[in-house]
Structure 1
Amino acid sequence: MATDSSSVNPVERLARWRKGIPFQVGGSNGTAECGAVLSGEELWQLRLTTADLDEQRLLALLTEPMPQALDAISESLCENPDSPWDQERPFLVTVGCLLERAYRNVCARMDELLVDTDSNVSSVFADREELVRDLVRNSLAVRLDTMLHRSMVAELAKEHAANPSVAKEPADRFAEAVARFTEPGRRRALFDEFPLLAQRLHTVAELWQAFAVELLERLVTDLPELLTTLGAPASLGHLATVRAGLGDSHRSSRSVAVIEFSSGWKAVYKPRPFGVDAHFQDLLEWVNERTDGLNLRTVRCFDRGDYGWMEYVQAWPCTGSIELRTFYRRQGALLALLYVLHASDANAENLIAAGDQPVLIDLETLLQPRLEVLRSGNRSVAETAADELFGSSVIHAGLLPAGPYGWADRSGMSVQDGAGASSIRIPHVEAPGTDRMRIRLRKAAVPRGDNQPDHVVRLRDYVDSVLVGFTEVYTLLGRNRDALTRQDGPLAAFRTDQVRVLLRDTSTYGLILGMSFHPRLLRNRWDLEEHFDLLWREVATKPGLAAVTESERRALWAVDIPAFDARVDGTEVLDDQGAVVLDTGVTSGWQLLNEALERLGDEDLARQIWLIRACMLSNGVRWDEPVAVARDAHAPAATPIDDEPLYGVAQAVAERLVDLAVGDSEGAVWLGVRTGAETNWQVGVTGPDLYAGGLGIALFLGHYAEVSGDAEYRDLARRAAGAAVQQLRRGRFGRGTDVLGLIGLGGAVYALAQLGALWADDGLIAIARSLVAAMPPLIARDEDFAVIDGAAGALLGAGTLSRISGDADILDVIRDAADRLLTAQGAGSGNAAWMPRRMHELGLVEEPLAGYGHGASGIASALVCASELLGDETYLDAALLAVDYERRLFEPKHGNWRDIRRFSGHEGPATEKVGDWTDTEGNTIAWCHGAVGIGLTRLHILRHCADDGVESDMVAALETTLRSGFGNGNSLCHGDFGSLELAVTVASDRADGELWTRLRRHAATVVDSITEEGWRCGIQRDLEVPGLYNGLAGIGFGALRVSAAPGVPSPFLVP
């Protein structure tokens, strides 16, 4: 008998539930998590109200016994099938009766269907029993096996412990254990322990049977017209296979299916409203008639209202560079259509590369409505405006590689070679088919998709092709905007279509659903209900989503991915049962289409082109590795530059940042490229960070305003800082709230301290203090250590705040960070340096690095800072040991330090080390790696102790920088102004007039190149981005530093 195996009493269970993860609203830095607008208690009460419950009613439900119906289900699963199913999936031995039942029922219905059917149709189903058996095997059996896996692995481990096998081979011992489940009693014991597994297996089997019967009924009814409409060959042959379960299951286990005939001809069945697919083909024909040589491929469709059929599109590669350029021109044309149609989800699975034709094969998410419930709370007006700009842009379609998933990019333009991995750990079976079989979480490989026109493509090589196609169709739509929406126009037909509405990322549902088959969740209904409350985590930031959670929960119980729909011109969102779940705050897809048509023009085109270029040029580029093109020729000018042209550069940058700002009188943000979740770059709204975000931009604008006396720039700087502070309160860094270094808390503290001092703003200083107070637990578990993202960057930021505020409590945090660095020095490498965990896991390093951003020099600078502030020379001694380590990497011939990062074999398919800002051996000369940053650290050390070796290093670094450190764009991180910063710092420290003259001669050449060619930023040099270290703000800041404008600090956290 199925029983509630939980030993937790109802009162304890209720207390635990309400304190569970979804209702723990609060981040690690003490701020509201991700902009939560509801407290944990408010969220809990809303969760109860949505389910028509209160705590007393829920407590009463928790005391109820398991439904008797579960006993009957468990009993029914103990019947033995007539024959075994799918020997390749041994766990199906436990559900053979379900498979057998489904097979018999579907066969019986097929017999009924074909009794009075035309002989031409019935002859197509020549071997119907084998056809149905194959359908059960390739669809239902696969689903049930997936559902069983985790529980069966756990049971087999118990089985091995209870009944040790004498078999010698692991596979034989596994087979023996599985064979025991052919016994009805053993299966009954399994389902008595996991009654919810039995219930859900039974539910899926019943729903699947209904889906399979519906599919075959429709196929029999539609077959003659289907074959004619889709252009089937005359010699079709018989129906060989029906493959269902392609993609996610929705709406009572329905899924996409492919039918294939013995001749090889195929067609695709889609069990959803199909009008939008058919009307898109008409739109493509309209475009083809009005363009020269574009000839976008159309796909034959047979629209049956609630469902439809389409021709199968076979993938094959392009045969050369001409076809590749044509492919990407056409992809740009499709992007223009998707932009105007406010599409989404045009990902790798929904696009096929058929030679030089990119073909969209799933169009259910065209004409998406805009939903107020999807707006996060606690966002500034500036962020909201930028989000709307971003959400109504080309990015929204999902075709461009703009997402946060690192090597697991699955956009329609994604390029994978099969070596990449997802950013999310998912269950993986180790040692399958043996008694050592276990399930572990790991990052899954991302296979090469059929969306790729060739095995390996560098997207940046085809930016121009995409832009040609995009501009061509964008302009065409703009010229014909009125005709497009007239009653007889190609867009008017979409107006009454039904589309699927994406309320959450499908992967969120997939993860929650997959986790729901963990054995600990299958014993008691309330454990599973509590698990499904993971849906409520997002409700904390978007309370409007509460209205859909019950519909989502019902679908997940039925082992479906939740699906929602809307009419294109409607303002209601319906769930998969047809119930209205949202009827307020819905802007229809039809209205958004008309708004997009009205936007078409030169200004909008320029913005969309920037976004396209930003996505394609930053795709596959990680912030922790080189990105550049071949170095420009550079020689110092004959005459040193005066201050005026340098101020002119800073003023031009400031004016450009004003033009690009998005916001209101309270806040300002920008569209830019920021650090993503997996050390990649991500196109989006700027975050709060110093490196590429709002605080870095504010730091430049604030100091430029002081130099120029222009209040407009001071106002923009304050608004930028204000928006960044709001983001900080939500913990919004690119990689989450757990980033310590320059790209996280350390950089934010540095900027806030500097701005607080500049403006005598105690409020900014107080915020900086609160961020330092959040550092200790992160420092204790830090394994990256570096200035960029580790404890060293946190220490340097905190050190700046300590000097400015004089707050003694900050010294405790500085000591924590310094001690963490001391403890980790040499660990795992045997050297007096530090191995950064993330870079090591990515395969980029096997030994500790030299350099400032990621290497030993930057960490040494942090230790010198600690030694100064704490009065403890232990830290200075450790810094000198790190310098000794770096000396092993010094190459006197080139006056530089070896860059020992490993790029070959560890890059994404669209990533490479292109060109250089290097010496003749390819060693980087920059702040982040190489001579520039190393020179800064040596100068820092020399302020505290005299050392001939350190002095020699500093001189070598300076001379190498002045000789070879220019011509790689203008950025601070790894460009000209970064190289100039070393010379500026040395010249300032030593009052070296001759050095000032030398560096200003170099600066003259840099400014001349900007005048002639424009700014060259540091992601890809012809991509304009706003940030401090890699973009415009850094160019302006660097110009101020070279001008020796008073009060402008080093941007590099160097004290």
Structure 2
Amino acid sequence: MGNLTAILNIEEKLRDQSKDLSGGLLDRNIKITYKDNMELFEDSIANILNIHSKKELTELYKSSAVKNDARLILNKYRAFKNRLITAPYTKYSDKENVLFINFASKVSSIAIQDIKNRNVFKNNKFILVNEQQFLEHISFQVQSAILKTCYRTLVLDFNVCLEKNQLIGETKEEKYRYYNEYFLGDSTYLNHFFELYPGILRILHNEVRKIVKITTDIVKHYVEDMESINFFKSKQPYRIETIILGLGDSHSDGRRVAKIILENNYKLIYKPRDLHIDQMYREICEYINQLVDSQFYIRTPKVYQGKDHGWAEYIDYKECSSEEEIANFYKRMGAQLALLYTLNAIDFHSENLIAHGSFPVLIDLESLFHMPYQEKNVSDAYNKTKEKLSTSVKSIGLLPFIFGSNHTDVSGIGQKGEVNTFIKVPKIKLDEDTVKIEREYGKMNASLNHPKINGQYVEANHYIEEIKQGFTEIYKLIQNNKKEIENIIHMSADKVRVRFIPKPTVRYASLLELSLHPRFLHNYIDREVFLAKIWEDAISNEWYEKIARHEFQDLTNGDIPLFSLSIKSCDLFSSTKEKIKNYFNKTPFEVVQQKLNKMDSADLDFQKKLIDLSIQSINHNILHNPTPKEEKDYSHTFIHTDFFIEKAKEIEEVIKSQAIVGHNMEKRNYSWVNSTPIGVKELHWSHAPMGDTLYNGLSGMAMMYLSLWIVTKRAAYLNIGLEIVEDLLNRILDWKEVNKNEMIPIGAFTGASSYIYLLMNYFVATKEVRFKKAACELATRLPQLIKKDKEFDIISGVAGTIVVLVSSYELEKERIFINIAEKCADHLLENLIVNDDGSIAWIGVSEVPLTGFSHGNAGNIYALAVLNKHLKRKDIDSVISKGLQFENSQMMENGWLDNRMDNSVVTAASWCHGAPGILLSRLELAQYNNQEVAIQSKKDLQYAIDNILEDGFGREHSLCHGDIGNAMILINCGRSMDNQHYINIGKNLLYESILRGETDGYKCGVGNGIESPNLMIGLAGVVYGLMYASDDRIPLLLDLKIGTKIADKGAYHV
């Protein structure tokens, strides 16, 4: 049998130990796939592959004997291989430089021959305008599909031949042509190739089979249905010019959406699924259109339902011809959004929407009536918030959202034109000696979802009011006509099936792509072991247990997993029609009925707020110029402390009104809908349930309530703060091993040490020793996170952790804090870079060294200086000096450059990246025991102060980027230097900013119009800043120093 037995899957193999084939590759693949997590490996192969030990798997891997029924399968693959290696290939002069085209041509020739040999094609080919041209076009599509499947293996094989000096030619192009023609065209070599990579043979056979089937099915179905679908254009039936395969993902054994090009360039969309859901949506829209003004009219494609497939009208892209059409487009977008929200829709991204003049037209409706998973503890505040968002307008996919490592907007409203891919994609590159596969961001084809006028895309954020107008109109109409909408659904409910999407399609696609790596194709079991890791999700989520094997079966067949259900049933069905009984505890129809019953004015306001937040989040014009200040003296004595306190109370009432209150273990807990900037440039925002950390999470909210209690003595504030802290402790003290929480950074604002900062502040304020004990317990777990830190900074890295730990140590000299702080410092020193001029910096969140406090040198050398007061290490002293040298080499016009930006600009005056944060750093360094560092830092102080006063106020109100943080830093500067002048300036500028917020609305973070409740970029930060200015016992927090005890109960001073 030879290596061909490696083509069989596990079920087809016979357990036999008669041949001792090496299992070394299997061991390496297991290590790569499961990363030494043998428990996950054993669970995966047991539950997915029905193999109960590694020994059993290895024996099966080595086995060369096969069952009788599997011999038939082997004969089938052997016959396919023989056809393939002897198949002719077509030489294309215009495709000579297409890598591996001869190989793809051989495969496509088999596919075309199989199409021609099928009776269903012979009986229906009369409908083709030109059979030869039709098949040629199909052949090119087959070649493209095959190359996507095989390119990794062919690249590897080509490079192996190069290393063995088997290829003739002077240049890389000549060697490639030799390989393409004389190796891939040679039957003996191809036979060797498939013996080496038998897994690729099985995949090729399957892909050819599926393409042949879908192609002939489409032709057959068109002939059967052409009289019925004639109404789309009211013309005589057209013949088929060609078929564009693969407009969507492959599901259910290769079934894909396709575009049919008919005579006279008439187009039609073929859908290999039931279209009763599309018909229902159309009927609801027709009902709505009778009751609304034409500016809210919803356009839907005409559809025809076949036996197990359907046809849809092709909707072409059209520009708008007037401003009125643009406005109507967005009103109708809002109208569509309201209906989709009502019907619990998800997954409506840019590819599901066509801008057809003034009409946004949805072209794929199978993900209506989505069924969300229900959390175990539905009363928990976080889960309540998560559920509220997961069934909101945000979950639909039309509103802007950022996806992937490249922060790409793929939403129906947000994406426009050609954009970068959201993840790095593999690209083949020929260098001097080899062919390489490198991952980089590519370009996605220009989408058809965004309206244009005069050839130019319009900006959706200019039409927020139109979107909300359309949304409100249809929302209220549905609210007032619930029974009528329910009746339309009920009339079709018995026929309507919808798709259930358990995981993002991109995740499945990524698994499929990785499974085609040549290391998994030497033996087909390698690929199955890799894909069996799909079980990983079932370990932490019981919902996935019942579907994991079905996901695996679809993936091994080269398909994106598909599940469906009737909207009046709780039973879920796999792509192979296997029933998973009572998978849900409610039917999709019942879930939509519940949503209809919950629609009210409060819900409408919440959805409109989410529309505002989402569309504002794509406004890249975020670093606004400061509002011009009057030329006046701000140094006069401040007299408005009572105003600050009362205003803080008022803002807290607003924050509390936005809270979602829940219960966990019979104790009250809290959550909020949170808005957070994404990426180091902070050009986009995400919206999610509030997390736990200091920057934008519950730890920050607890610090706000603590500050209110210290100043006002109102027990209600302390009670809420303590409830938040208790809720946090229930989670964070349950960590058995921090290293299993790989996404948790170590840092002081967004990581594990933010909890230590919170707990130590509550310990100082309340004198409850349990908070200090909890902080010490958490500190013992930090060393597990140190080596994982790749950011090194104040926000998420070890620099912030150092400051928190040293501040904690200084309270009661607990050695655990200073010992771990020194380990963090060692990590910081191990990861520095030395520049050409001898200066020192770090590369963390950005690809270049940064200035500033939150992510740059100012914060890192500040942390080292705070620590070295106690350690007095010479190597740390040297790094501080050289780190200061780098930052000051980045000065321009008495300011520091913002290296995040592509052009050389001085940073905006903000705590995170500008002069205010650098001022905090220099205040510490001015007291440092290195005279050279201290002298330079004192010089820098005035530069920083001047920069803040000139450029630091009038943008917005946050601690991180705005007036509140800058005012606090000026006040801190005055307190540190015993200079009442700067204290007064800071308080008076803060007062002016609050008055502006009361008049024009508070601007949170860096997004114009984006409001968030959290500490560093939200309203909680406004409250905290007012308390800090009102009472010098409140810790600054921006410098991560912890308050220290004084005699009075619950009192603070810094």
Task: Measure, in 1, the Cα distance between the counterparts of 2:595 and 2:741.
Answer: 29
Report the CA distance shift for 1:112/1:799 in structure 2 as closer, same or farther (over 3 A).
Answer: closer
Q: Distance in 2 between matches of 1:562 and 1:884?
A: 56
Shift of the alpha carbon at 1:547? Answer: 1.2
**Deviation for aligned residue 1:218:** 0.4
The SS at the match of 1:250 is coil
Cα displacement (A) at 1:885: 4.1
* C-alpha contact (below 8 Å) 1:274/1:305 kept by paired residues: no
Matched residue count: 999
Moved more, 260-269 or 91-100: 91-100
Verify: 1:105 aligned to 2:104, yes or no.
no
Tell me the equivalent position of 1:78. Answer: 82
The aligned counterpart of 2:616 is 617
Partner residue in 1 for 2:208:
205
The alpha carbon displacement at 1:492 in A equals 4.8
CA distance in 2, matches of 1:279, 1:390: 26
C-alpha contact (below 8 Å) 1:93/1:182 kept by paired residues: yes
Are 1:939 and 2:890 counterparts?
A: no
- The SS at the match of 1:851 is coil
Aligned equivalent of 2:719: 715
2:160 to 158, 173, 177: 158
Question: Secondary structure, in 3 states, of the residue corresponding to 1:547?
Answer: coil
Give the stretch that moved more between structures: 634-643 or 583-592: 634-643
Q: 1:156 to 1:766 in 2, by over 3 A?
A: farther
Q: What letter is aligned with 2:194?
A: F
Counterparts in 2 of 1:319 and 1:885: CA distance versus 1, 3 Å: farther
Identify the residue that residue 909 of structure 1 maps to in structure 2: none
Asked whether 1:568 is paired with 2:580, we answer: no
Structure 2 partner of 1:912 = none
- The match for 1:656 among 646, 654, 657 is 654
Deviation of 1:765 (Å): 4.2
Q: 2:420 is matched with which residue?
A: 420
> Is the counterpart of residue 1038 in structure 1 residue 1039 in structure 2?
no
Residue 591 of structure 1: how far off its partner (Å): 1.4
* Unmatched runs of 5 consecutive residues or more in structure 1: 26-39, 116-121, 906-920
Equivalent-residue separation in structure 2 for 1:733 and 1:465 (angstroms) = 47
Per-residue CA deviation, residues 554-613 of structure 1 (Å, 9 max, x unaligned), is 111211111110111211110011111352334322112112211211111121122122
Return the match for 2:761 from 754, 767, 777: 754
Structure 1 residue identity aligned to 2:794: V
- SS of the residue corresponding to residue 297 of structure 1 reads coil
The separation in 2 between residues aligned to 1:571 and 1:725, in whole angstroms, is 38
Query: Partners in 2 of 1:284 and 1:733 — Cα distance?
Result: 49
> AA paired with 2:231?
T
Cα-to-partner distance string for 1:510-554 (whole Å, 9 max, x where unaligned)? 111111111111122321121012212222221321211111111
Deviations 1:381-419 (A, max 9, x none): 222111111111111211122344353222222335645
Tell me the equivalent position of 1:36.
none
Counterpart contact for 2:624–2:955, Cα < 8 Å: yes
Query: Percent identity of the aligned residues?
Result: 22
Tell me how far apart the structure 2 counterparts of residues 677 and 986 of structure 1 sit (CA, whole Å): 30
The residue type paired with residue 65 of structure 1 is S
In structure 2, how many angstroms separate the alpha carbons of the residues matched to 1:925 and 1:979? Answer: 8
246-255 or 679-688: which moved more? 679-688
Q: Distance between the aligned counterparts of 1:383 and 1:22, measured in 2?
A: 31
Equivalents in 2 of 1:937, 1:402: separation in Å? 35
Query: In the alignment, which residue of structure 2 is the partner of 1:916?
Result: none
Pairing of 1:349-388 with structure 2 (within 5 A): 349-372=351-374, 375=375, 381-388=380-387
Assess, with a 3 A threshold, how the Cα gap between structure 1 residues 419 and 344 changes in structure 2: closer, same or farther: closer
Distance 2:379 2:78 in 1: 54
- CA shift, 1:462, in A, is 2.8
* 1:791 corresponds to: 798
Residues 258 and 266 in structure 1, CA contact (< 8 A), matched pair in contact too? yes
The equivalences for 1:274-293 within 5 A come to 274-292=275-293, 293=295
How many angstroms does 1:112 deviate by? 6.4
- d(CA) in 2 for partners of 1:1052 and 1:287? 57
Distance 2:615 2:902 in 1: 20
**In the aligned structure 2, how far is the partner of 1:953 from the partner of 1:995?**
16
Q: Aligned AA for 1:409?
A: D
Number of the residue aligned with 2:910: 926
1:1026 is matched with which residue? Answer: 1013
* TM-align CA RMSD: 3.5
In structure 2, what is the Cα distance between the partners aligned to 1:790 and 1:457? Answer: 40
Alignment of 1:439 with 2:437, yes or no, is yes
Matches within 5 A, 1:954-969: 954-969=941-956
Aligned mates of 1:338, 1:831 — CA distance in 2: 59
Partners of 2:355 and 2:448 within 8 A in 1 = yes
Per the alignment, residue 300 of structure 1 pairs with: 302
State the partner residue of 1:706: 710
User: Residues of 1 paired with 2:626 and 2:301: CA distance?
Assistant: 43
The equivalent residue for 1:800 is 807
Query: What's the CA shift string for 1:944-997, capped at 9, x where partnerless?
Result: 457454334323433443454221222111211111111221232234334433
* Equivalent residue letter for 1:631: T
Other-structure match for 2:998: 1011
SS of equivalent to 1:652: helix
Q: Give the superposition deviation at 1:206.
A: 1.9
Deviation per residue, 1:246-291 (Å, 9 max, x gap): 2211111111111112311100000011111122222222232222
Secondary structure of 2:347's counterpart equals coil
Match of 1:754, as an amino acid? Answer: N
- Residues 727/669 of structure 1: CA separation in 2 closer, same or farther (3 Å cut): farther
Q: Distance in 1 between matches of 2:421 and 2:811?
A: 44
Pick the aligned partner of 1:815 from 812, 822, 833. 822
CA distance in 1, matches of 2:322, 2:840: 48
Tell me the distance in 1 between the aligned counterparts of 2:965 and 2:741: 23
The DSSP-based 3-state class of the residue aligned with 1:352 is: strand
Match of 1:448 in 2: 446
* Deviation sequence 1:414-439 (CA, Å, 0-9, x none): 335645342x333221129x972222
Report matched runs for 1:764-913 at 5 Å: 764-766=771-773, 768-769=775-776, 772-773=779-780, 775-776=782-783, 779-780=786-787, 782=789, 784-804=791-811, 806-822=813-829, 827-828=834-835, 830=837, 832-840=839-847, 848-872=849-873, 874-876=875-877, 878-890=879-891, 896-903=895-902
- Judge which range, 680-689 or 340-349, deviates more: 680-689
Query: SS at the partner of 2:273?
Result: coil
What are the superposed Cα offsets for residues 338-392 of structure 1, whole Å, 9 maximum, x if unpaired?
11110111012211222332221111101112334xx5x7999222111111111
1:993 is the counterpart of 2:995: no
Q: In 2, are the aligned partners of 1:849 and 1:856 still within 8 Å (CA)?
A: yes
Q: Residue type of the partner of 1:854?
A: H
CA apart distance, 1:463: 2.2
Choose from 85, 100, 119 the match for 1:91.
100
Decide whether aligned partners of structure 1 residues 741 and 506 sit closer, same or farther in structure 2, where only a CA change above 3 A counts.
same
Shift in alpha-carbon separation, 1:675–1:770, aligned structure 2, 3 A: farther
Q: How far, CA to CA, are the matches of 1:60 and 1:798 in structure 2?
A: 53
Aligned pairs for 1:585-600 within 5 A:
585-600=584-599
Structure 1 distance, partners of 2:412, 2:669, is: 34
Q: What is the Cα deviation at residue 636 of structure 1?
A: 6.7
Q: Which runs of 5+ in 2 are unaligned?
A: 8-18, 1043-1054
TM-superposed deviation, 1:309: 0.6
Q: Which moved more, 1:198-207 or 1:1033-1042?
A: 198-207
Equivalence for 1:230: 232
Q: What TM-score does the superposition give when structure 1 sets the normalisation length? A: 0.87
1:678-693 matches, cutoff 5 A = 680-693=684-697
Cα distance in 2 between the residues matched to 1:764 and 1:245 = 59
CA deviation string 1:799-835 (max 9, x = no partner): 2333346332332332233344445555246463425
Q: Is the 8 A contact 2:920 2:1039 kept in 1?
A: no
User: Which amino acid counterpart does residue 91 of structure 1 have in structure 2?
Assistant: F
Distance across 2 between alignment mates of 1:108 and 1:838: 58
Q: In terms of mean alpha carbon deviation, does 384-393 or 1005-1014 score higher?
A: 1005-1014
SS in 1 for 2:972: helix
Larger relative contact order (CA 8 Å, sep ≥ 6): 1
Q: Distance in 1 between matches of 2:650 and 2:34?
A: 48
Say if 1:368 and 1:588, in contact at 8 Å, map to a contact too: no
> What secondary structure is seen at the aligned counterpart in 2 of 1:296?
coil
- TM-score when scaled to structure 2? 0.87
Quote how far apart the aligned CAs of 1:316 are: 3.7
Partners of 1:52 and 1:849 lie apart in 2 by 52
Matches within 5 A, 1:529-678: 529-581=528-580, 583-619=582-618, 627-628=623-624, 631=627, 633=629, 640-662=638-660, 663-664=662-663, 665-676=667-678
